[in-house]
Amino acid sequence: MKLIDISRPIYSGMPVWPGDTDANFDIVATIAGGAVVNIGALKISIHTGTHVDAPWHYADSGETIDRVAPDAYVGPARVIDARGCKSIGRDLFDRIDLSPTPRVLFRTDAWTNPNVFPRDWPVMEDGLPEWLATQGVRLVGLDIPSVDKLDSKTLPIHLACFRANLLILESTDLRNAKPGTYELIALPLRVRGGDGSPVRAVLRAMQ
């Protein structure tokens, strides 16, 4: 069983959304220092690194992450090649049947330096979230920090996904995932009342 890790590592000083909580990991006790065990403490934003957005993150009427069914984040998925695209549109799905893969991951390779937060990336075109929902898709994932642009104040694509009942997985690392069909495993933490959760996301090749 070969797993492809599509998660971005979490570490102190890693790039985060401008203005969000800085990531900080400290070792607070060590065996070498006389403690019985080594213990670390982690302080991060919910939206650090590879993470899922709970619908409540962008809509007050949406579910918090502890209320989202976990099976949404496990199952067949298709990686779609969106490299070189200025936007993500329906033309990427010519002759692709999405019915067996209700989770779609867009590989853009737009985040070129993993140590620097990107400033621009392609986003889904108007109407695409709604169309994906008609094809049976229930989750969209991307290798960029957000489904909306960095400077967006109205979050039109987040809200389009909300209306279409599409869940969102952001900031994956798909550089080692060729376009094709996989099993996605990206379970969030059960954060009570949470607006999302970091995840350890992996892909497993479908036999």
Catalytic annotation, residues: 57
Eight-state DSSP code of residue 99: T
Residue 195 contacts by C-beta under 8 Å, 6 or more apart in sequence?
46, 47, 53, 54, 56, 57, 64, 65
For residues 123 and 149, the answer to whether their CB atoms sit within 8 Å is yes
Classify 95 in phi/psi space as left (phi over 0), alpha (psi -120 to 50) or beta. Answer: left
Q: In degrees rounded to 5, what are phi and psi of residue 169?
A: -120, 125
For residues 66 and 192, the answer to whether their CB atoms sit within 8 Å is yes
How far is residue 45's CA from residue 146's CA, in Å, rounded to a whole number?
15
